[in-house]
Structure 1
Amino acid sequence: MRWPWQAEQDEHTAPGLAPVPEVLIVGAGPTGLTLGIRLRQQGVACRIIERLPAPLPWSRALGLHARTQELLAALGVLDAVRERSLGLQAVNVYGERGHLFRLDLDALDAPYPQVLSCPQATVEELLAERFLALGGVLERGVELTGFQQQADHVVALLRDENGERRCLASVLVGCDGAGSQVRQQAGISFDGVRYADHFLLADVALDWPLSPSCTHGFLRAEGALIAIPMPDRWRLIINLADDEDLSPVTDAMPIQQRLERYMPAARIDAVHWVSRFSIHRRLAGRYRLNRVFLAGDACHIQSPLGAQGMNTGIADAFNLAWKLGHYLQGWGGGRLLDSYEQERRPVAAQMLQQVDLLSRGSFSRAAWVRQGRELTLRWLSRQPALARRLLRRASQLDVHYRQSPQVSGRGNQRPGPKPGDRMPDALLVRARHSGEDALHRWLLDPRWHLVIQLPQQPDHPDFLTLYALVSRLVESASAQLRLHCVVSGRWPAALNDLTTSDVQCWQDTHGHWLRQYGEQGQLWLMRPDGHLGFRAPLTDSDQLLLWLARLWQRD
């Protein structure tokens, strides 16, 4: 679909070139498909190419955290994903002498508090269906062999079964994984290390007495055994000493042997897939080179512990999509595009450090590390508040962009999120009409959303400020911005005329907004990715107008 404020744009051509999109995305994994969907929701023409002729039936990524589920809801696919997922209740960790620690996975204060176990192949299938339904173009069996950047476009060289062809795009995005051709051809470094161990995984039918809705980790002197429930089977992972042999394997016997030692009552009934892999910790030196961008595993890879990879890639794409949409409409220019790396690379760097610490602590066989690990986990089992904070961090709900040049605000000492924070969800009731809606559902409309919050006891100057601000914004920014007014308690008669204008009017009947955002009169500007772009007291509406003017200044 194309939003009303966007002019019709046909795919353009150049002499000797095939028709091409505004954005050419390399890689049809979760990252590339998320980017494609979010661009199509903005009406941006885009094409995804994938070198594999068909999707792979196997995948290493499984977990979907709370924040990722919010993003999938905004993409319009969460209901379908949940139908084919398994909700995980807890992580149990066992040491040499039995159970050490339990982390409950459904204790978050979030719309979707459970971690979902959903194979990446399923996620890709549902994202691809959504992308195609929105009019996106997906070409499989097409490989990027080179590209050249010009002043106002990128010329990409593609190869398929019919030979080579060239195509033109305004922007090229590499979502093509750890071995990214886009990254390599752009000359961007991928610095990091490979872990000493290598790993075997097997997807199996497993008969054993442990809970099928919990992840179980055995951390022993002989090595680790991780068991992750899937919707219809189990995934078992073990670490082995590095023998430099990473050739394909078909035998799950090493996993079977370790399982029998750690859980004699367990029996593998069938093996569906076996794979050997190594773990790297790497981060791209940059995320952008003029009109070429990287996202997902193309710019960061890490241990699978904590299930951060697929989640971080989806968040990369969600952040990049609205910036590309603005840029292609002529807003923001290079400063806006630069903010993608400024915001997302520090998130990946911090994530890599945390996952590295978790992996080294979990897989180490050194006696002093194992002893410290067991003491730490036993202590953590008696600190439920700290455990919840760790879970919240892993869920990516606390990811913020407070240092970004694309956020600003005043009055940050007051309650509520700070500029750059994810805006918490809140259930609101339509004023003078029936029905309810949640703030996060507004993300289905990938525009900016300004919430004008009146104080609990508004007075005449508050009403005047609100009407003046609405008048200015309806005239100048209605194409880029949705307006909302939130009040506590009864709907003021002085605002009856507002319900007939281009403003969504809401009452905080359930008190959700008050709990998350406080009771003061405030302006809250939500970016298209759900993070707070600007906040200020209601009396600072002029500052908001100046900030919006700079944001949408055409280069």
Structure 2
Amino acid sequence: MTEQLPVAVVGAGPIGLTTALGLAHYGVPFVLLEEDAVLSSDTKAGTTLSRTLEVWNRYGAVDGILSAALRIDEIGDIDRATNTPRASVQLAELVNDTQFPFVINLPQQKMEPILAAALDQPVLTQHRLLSFDVLDDRVVLHVETPDGPRDIEASHLLACDGGRSKIRDALGVKVVGETLPERYMLIDVLVDLDVNNARDYPYLAYFADRSEWMVLIRQPDNWRFLFPLGPGAEPPGDEDLLVKVKQFIGEVDRIELLGSVVYNVHHRVAEQWTVDRKVFLMGDAAHLITPMWALGLNTGVLDASNLPWRLAWVLRGWASETLLDGYEQEQRPVAIEGSGEMAEAARKYMAQQRGAVTEATGAWATAYNRTLLSVRLDVEGVGDWSMVATTAAPPAVRAGDRAPDLALQSPTGRVTIHDLCKDSFVALYFTDVRRRPEIPVNDSPALKHYAVSRWDAPHDSGLRDRALFDPGSIATNRYGVPPESVVLVRPDGHVAAVAPMGTGVAEELYTHITDRPVPREVS
């Protein structure tokens, strides 16, 4: 048996690191190349949403992140003119939907080392990709290293090399969209808003204003401010920056500027994300999105959630290469019309411009949308996808929805739905175990079967090993599917299909997706 070539990931920013963690989670060999000598030290993204925390949890990296971060259960909305709060986003509304009913603040330069430390192999720093050749059965990378030129053979090449992606340019892929004339300025300051100068702002607060809006972000050990710079405007000097901050928060005893950065605002997306099912664009290499409402980095993590399991299934022989086509099919609309449009609407909302979104969908839907739990992917290739939940209460799940992550009781203790599907497809049969439904035995590493019932499976039912007790029908009611339905959940936590229960139905659904029969355990 020939040795499996590694997957080459180029770029060790948050998306490259998350992608590498995903490959490692699924047991796919990889190399992670970074042209710089160290990870980023710039002041960058600071807020991470619930959906990203779920991805990092699946990949085994969330504990270190949470230990270093500040957790937030409210996103504030403040009218600058009156300094009075408007309706805030209450993230505790999500307590029955996710293990993470909150978002976190953690600056990117502190986040990246934690993600890198969670990998079981080092990042290859000072490895600059010079060129590459796409062959029938591999990709050959020509790399400059501290020890001289080196060729690396890989099964696939994943471009996580940022908005100025050299891999994208080498492929001749065009980027369409616009760069706005407005820029954003981000500054970090030391200031006491907790004790002597107490301000009861939420840890993440948006000051809306027609002339000049601002975002206030409480980092673990300082405060961060983000505000727009008009077209052609020069960044303020240090003293003027501090004056500007105090125009929003009022006078304080002491304030110190720690750092600042100015960056352009984009809504630009690559016209093509994959080439020959061998090279894939990810993160900023595929889409540059306004970072309003934390949609920049967090949209990239959705890419890093979608692709690694597909590569694992193909490389194991559990799926045909056509499974890889779903990556661009599902993620590109989210970037073009989903995150990009939502971010632009958020920018208009902050500036109180026409065309801005409103949050008139109810507390649950507002929290669901702002955490990216609302993303429904086009899993069936028919253009049916969404970024926004609009109902006052959770609707029944549909194909493409992120599966709500509720707790159930297995024979050995508590388990969540995302725990069940983190390594395989999972078929959830919403049924009554007293009636001895036909639930297949678990003899495949790729597809697991579980009955979900408000009745605990009797020990003489023959179902004890694959039945999940749902006290009070909490999970059953949240999923909202008809009785005697099967919900097939993918390894990335998205619903692949909903169908009536029947002999072999989950296996048929799996084969339709993967173009391969369900693999069986080798005894």
- CA apart distance, 1:188: 1.1
Q: Which structure: greater helix fraction? A: 1
Match of 1:485 in 2: 451
Of 394, 399, 404, which residue of structure 2 is paired with 1:419?
A: 399
Match of 1:228 in 2: 217
Q: Give the percent of matched residue pairs that are identical in Structure 1 and Structure 2.
A: 25
Q: Which amino acid aligns with 1:270?
A: E
Match of 1:308 in 2: 295
CA RMSD for the aligned pairs?
2.8
Match of 1:118 in 2: 106
Question: 1:545 & 1:198 partners in 2: Cα distance?
Answer: 51
Match of 2:87 in 1: 102
Q: How does 1:158-169 map to 2 (within 5 A)?
A: 158-169=143-154
After TM superposition, the score normalised by the length of structure 1 is 0.82
Q: Which amino acid aligns with 2:257?
A: V
Q: Is the 8 A contact 1:203 1:234 kept in 2?
A: yes
Question: 1:185 & 1:27 partners in 2: Cα distance?
Answer: 15
Listed one character per residue, the Cα deviations across residues 216-266 of structure 1 (whole Å, up to 9, x for unaligned) are 3334455223221101001112222222768xx9x4333212223334313
Match of 1:189 in 2: 174
Question: 1:407 & 1:262 partners in 2: Cα distance?
Answer: 43
Q: Which amino acid aligns with 2:416?
A: A
Of 338-347 and 110-119, deviating more is: 110-119
Q: Quick one: structure 1 residues 325 and 95, their matched pair in 2 at CA, closer, same or farther if it must change by over 3 Å?
A: same
Listed one character per residue, the Cα deviations across residues 307-350 of structure 1 (whole Å, up to 9, x for unaligned) are 01111111111110111111112343332111100011111121
Question: 1:506 & 1:254 partners in 2: Cα distance?
Answer: 60
Q: Is the 8 A contact 1:407 1:533 kept in 2?
A: no
Q: Which amino acid aligns with 1:435?
A: G
Q: Is the 8 A contact 1:190 1:285 kept in 2?
A: yes
Q: Quick one: structure 1 residues 492 and 92, their matched pair in 2 at CA, closer, same or farther if it must change by over 3 Å?
A: same
How many residues matched?
A: 496
Q: Quick one: structure 1 residues 207 and 517, their matched pair in 2 at CA, closer, same or farther if it must change by over 3 Å?
A: closer
Unaligned 5+ residue runs, structure 1? 1-7, 12-20, 409-414
Q: Is the 8 A contact 1:105 1:115 kept in 2?
A: no
Match of 1:336 in 2: 323
Question: 2:445 & 2:224 partners in 1: Cα distance?
Answer: 48
- CA apart distance, 1:359: 1.2
Q: Is the 8 A contact 1:23 1:172 kept in 2?
A: yes
SS state at 1:200 partner: strand
| Matching of residue 38 in structure 1 with residue 25 in structure 2 | no
Question: 1:119 & 1:77 partners in 2: Cα distance?
Answer: 16
Q: How does 1:143-162 map to 2 (within 5 A)?
A: 143-162=128-147
SS state at 1:479 partner: coil
Q: Is the 8 A contact 2:433 2:457 kept in 1?
A: no
- CA apart distance, 1:212: 5.7
| Matching of residue 391 in structure 1 with residue 367 in structure 2 | yes
- CA apart distance, 1:494: 4.7
- CA apart distance, 1:23: 0.5
Match of 1:57 in 2: 41
Q: Which amino acid aligns with 2:375?
A: V
Q: Which amino acid aligns with 2:163?
A: A
Question: 1:530 & 1:216 partners in 2: Cα distance?
Answer: 30
- CA apart distance, 1:513: 2.1
Question: 2:415 & 2:48 partners in 1: Cα distance?
Answer: 24
Of 215, 218, 238, which residue of structure 1 is paired with 2:207?
A: 218
Q: Quick one: structure 1 residues 226 and 546, their matched pair in 2 at CA, closer, same or farther if it must change by over 3 Å?
A: closer
Of 74, 78, 83, which residue of structure 1 is paired with 2:58?
A: 74
Match of 1:547 in 2: 509
- CA apart distance, 1:407: 12
| Matching of residue 448 in structure 1 with residue 425 in structure 2 | yes
Unaligned 5+ residue runs, structure 2? 385-394, 518-523
Q: How does 1:351-390 map to 2 (within 5 A)?
A: 351-363=339-351, 369=353, 385-386=361-362, 388-390=364-366
- CA apart distance, 1:305: 1.3
Match of 2:332 in 1: 345
Q: Is the 8 A contact 1:336 1:406 kept in 2?
A: no
Q: Quick one: structure 1 residues 190 and 222, their matched pair in 2 at CA, closer, same or farther if it must change by over 3 Å?
A: same
After TM superposition, the score normalised by the length of structure 2 is 0.87
